[in-house]
Amino acid sequence: MRRLVSFTMISLDGYFAASDGDLSWAHRGDPQWKAYVEDNSKQGGGLVFGRLTYEMMASYWPTPHAAASDPVVAQNMNRLPKFVFSRTLTRPDWDSTRVLGRDDLLADARNLKSGHGADLVVLGSGSIVAQLAQAGLIDELQLAVFPVVLGKGRRLFPDLKDHLKLKLAHSRIFDNGNVVLAYRPSK
């Protein structure tokens, strides 16, 4: 069975996006962080998105600008299979993309996890992460905490019905102040 890992960048005050969707606060030019992101992009057996994150990623990673600015990450983002949970997306335009979750997001996620292979990684996609975590389908929740306070924005778990009990699996501190905290469900 494949693991489903979530990787979400959040501000120090717990927002994954500003109120207007802006993510510029999460893009910092730092060699150590860039190397980490490049190494992470080589891992995984597939990328999982919600529609909004998918559209943002699909508008950037297949472009010549992405290939020139971030060739390692662009190559890996473009080569991996992509799965988009959406009820409205009809024609994905990024290579190797399949739309799931039209009728039953949780059933499709369970089916996706039941396969064999490397980890599936959910990038961003706050509402999808919240739904999958609440259903116990996230095997590891990785939070990249950026040293910035937004004051308002979109929270990762705004309407959580039950507590998520987690245990720290590993962490890493970066010279630029970013901290990656990886949590797994405590059983």
Q: What pLDDT digit, counting tens, does each position of 73-118 carry? A: 999 999 999 999 999 998 899 999 999 988 899 999 999 999 888 9
Q: What pLDDT digit, counting tens, does each position of 21-33 carry? A: 888 888 876 889 8
* 8 Å CB contact between 28 and 176: yes
**Domain regions of the chain by residue span:** 4-185
Q: What is the pTM of this model?
A: 0.91
Fold topology of 4-185 = Dihydrofolate Reductase, subunit A (3.40.430)
d(CA 76, CA 81): 10
Residue 98 CB contacts under 8 Å (≥ 6 apart), including other chains: 81, 82, 83, 84, 92
